[in-house]
Chain A
Amino acid sequence: KNQVEQSPQSLIILEGKNCTLQCNYTVSPFSNLRWYKQDTGRGPVSLTIMTFSENTKSNGRYTATLDADTKQSSLHITASQLSDSASYICVVTLGGYNKLIFGAGTRLAVHP
């Protein structure tokens, strides 16, 4: 079954600290993996997209990694800011289809 699992479900960190969110997937065939940030009441905004051959990609303070062998990805946030408070969703595209498989998301709260 094509699934994307994220951990932790929720996370609270202090402003300025780093954190890492995890994503494991069983989607096959695999096309690409995306991380989205979704603020409350808004649509998801793309942070990174990685194909099979890419194992790291950065977007400012966000760095995503991909291990296609173990089917794991992580999103590392450096020097967190209050505005990083949001849900972070890992999404895998099913190869050969226009179909995205969504994880349930990690809800991150950054406290001052």
Chain B
Amino acid sequence: DAMVIQNPRYQVTQFGKPVTLSCSQTLNHNVMYWYQQKSSQAPKLLFHYYDKDFNNEADTPDNFQSRRPNTSFCFLDIRSPGLGDAAMYLCATSNQGAEGYTFGSGTRLTVV
């Protein structure tokens, strides 16, 4: 089945230690998104790629970076995780016009 896959499901990292979360898709969607979702809150958009064009939200901290080496893969890099970065990170994809918007199962990040 075509889908959005996030790995790992759970990630524990040390305070200040760089961590990378990954997302892959088999939907061939041209837009990929990263969201941060804290407990009992709505997902918050961090940035998205429209093909190779990177679009950062104005309030996304510099600590968060992203890479999209090809259509299928997108990575979220947290350069120096703080305790406040502990959250669920959701990857989503869509085609042009935000149709077929599909979320992955998420990666829950714990910072110790």
Contact = CB atoms under 8 A, between A and B. Distances in A.
- Does B bind A? yes
Greatest chain B CB density within 10 A among A41, A44, A103 is at A44
Contact of B42 (A41, A45, A98, A102): A102
Interface residues of A, number: 21
Contacts of A57: none
A98 B41 contact: no
Interface size class of B (residues with CB under 8 A): 20 to 34
Contacts, number: 49
Interface majority SS (helix, strand, loop, mixed), chain B = strand
B98 A99 contact: yes
B15 interface: no
Contact of A46 (B43, B90, B101, B104): B101
Contact of B103 (A32, A45, A97, A98): A45
Interface string B12-35: 000000000000000000010100
19 contacts: A32-B98, A34-B101, A41-B88, A42-B106, A43-B4, A43-B104, A43-B105, A43-B106, A44-B90, A98-B31, A98-B33, A98-B48, A98-B50, A99-B45, A100-B45, A100-B101, A102-B42, A104-B42, A105-B40
